[in-house]
Structure 1
């Protein structure tokens, strides 16, 4: 089946499952990690349209596109990447989602010390956040300094770092304020060791079997969700980096052409730095190239310096959208 044909298939008709795929091995591995800590809550896993752990459910949903190589390739072709498609990325996400699941299983957000260290779970999720990459108050597990987006994400990220086997978090985070959170999680999990969970729901919200939209519609909506818009607010920064053309006969390369020539390198560079969705970055680049054309800007200066300076500028402005991508489902 071609990708075009696949886009006309409904999600509920994909006939994929976790069983028999590489996901089984990853899930077994994190279950073993829980068992080694004597954490006996039994999280369940199912396929849906994204990564998430629903409020009140001690389980984890995984995205359908990880259940078959052809679907993973389709995800990459439609979204420019497939989140969790490598072994390491999958394990990081699973540990993060298990942090949410164990929070739901034991209602940890109700504890006073949990609230004192992480904040209140009832805090509204922001539409965007501006993380401080230099902050040492938060651990690093997922890209984009995701622990800074919300108290529940802070806990899930801290749990993920704590759960990681053969990782000396005490040494790595020595001197960081984040170490207090890790030590709290360590004490808390020791307290919960061997205990049955308070919440045992086996619900599977938004299962793939009930999603009747086609893959084509799904990706249209997903791309729209990740879309961004730019105004002339970035003109000043573009004019600082590039020069204005000196009349219609200016022979220098236009800034729009320069960015088009280096777009893949720039996009990959910024995505690596920030963890930002490449689709969002691609749309930002499109908007900026359009403004460069309208402003008649030209690339004047050392090529490598222009590439790096623009990548830094894109990183700074792209931070406004770091959270929006991961709000496709509340995690």
Structure 2
């Protein structure tokens, strides 16, 4: 979604809660040489970054009103990095997700029988890096999110035991790359996979 910023933990981090969205916007603004004006020049999120910039210029010489207080969890007791926390959540969501892409995958990999067939899941696994580069390039999604999407497609292809004719390998790679790019762009602009 273009109304949120995307810091080092990917697009999913900023969408959890408005406080976290502000914290993420602040983190992008605070990062030295992040080039946020250029990076977000055509995004609605630029308004939030400009707000933070204006606010910080106004209050930079003021003494903070609250300087001490109870911490929910002191830093010494934290055992999980933020990226690990959100990575675990993303993995749980991916594992629990229903087959929202099943119908699309069945179109890409129609029933195939005979001796010259291959596993669609193996095709996805074997050509993942090639598809990852293309989907990332055309969708603009961070690598981690594209990797999660491709893993979901592979999981579902495996669960559905989808096959393809080996003579159609190139066509199947193009079709599944197009499907993944379409899903990734959908996510980039709506914040969810609608399949």
Q: What is the TM-score when the length of structure 2 is the normalising length? A: 0.61
- 2:22 pairs, out of 148, 151, 155, with 155
Q: How many Å apart are 1:159 and its aligned residue?
A: 1.6
CA-to-partner distance for each residue in 1:208-253, whole Å, 9 max, x for gaps?
6587xxxxxx99xx487455235454331012111211x4x25232
Between Structure 1 and Structure 2, which shows a larger proportion of helix residues? 2
Is 1:162–1:182's contact at 8 Å kept on the other side of the alignment?
yes
- 8 Å contact kept, 1:241–1:309: no
Contact kept in structure 1, 2:25 and 2:49, CA below 8 Å? yes
User: CA 1:308/1:282 → structure 2, altered by over 3 Å: closer, same or farther?
Assistant: closer
Per the alignment, residue 138 of structure 1 pairs with: 4
CA contact (8 A) 1:226 1:280 kept: no
Q: Alpha-carbon deviation of 1:186? A: 1.9
| C-alpha RMSD over aligned residues | 4.1
Q: Secondary structure at the match of 1:195?
A: coil
Q: Which runs of 5+ in 2 are unaligned?
A: none
- Structure 1: runs of 5 or more not aligned: 1-131, 212-217, 322-331
**Compared CA separation, residues 320 and 288, structure 1 to 2 (3 A):** farther
Match of 1:181 in 2: 48
What is the CA distance between 1:172 and its match in structure 2?
Answer: 4.9
Select the residue among 203, 206, 212 that pairs with 2:71: 203
Give deviations 1:268-323, integer Å, cap 9, x for gaps: 776883432857853652233221x1xx53153525414522532663589658xx
2:99, 2:156 within 8 Å by CA — same for their partners in 1? no
* Residues 1:184 and 1:278: Cα distance change in structure 2 (over 3 Å): same
Alignment partner of 1:252 is 2:117? yes
How far apart in 2 are the matches of 1:263 and 1:170? 33
- TM-score when scaled to structure 1? 0.40
Q: Distance in 1 between matches of 2:50 and 2:124?
A: 46
- Name the CA distance, whole Å, in 2 between partners of 1:281 and 1:147: 22
**CA distance in structure 1 between the partners assigned to 2:69 and 2:119 by the alignment:** 59
Pairing 1:43-62 to 2, within 5 Å after superposition? none
Distance 1:150 1:204, change over 3 A: closer
In 2: Cα distance, 1:231 partner to 1:307 partner: 19
What is the aligned length?
A: 174
For residues 82-121 of structure 1, what are the structure 2 equivalents within 5 Å? none
Contact 2:121 2:154 in 1 (8 A): no
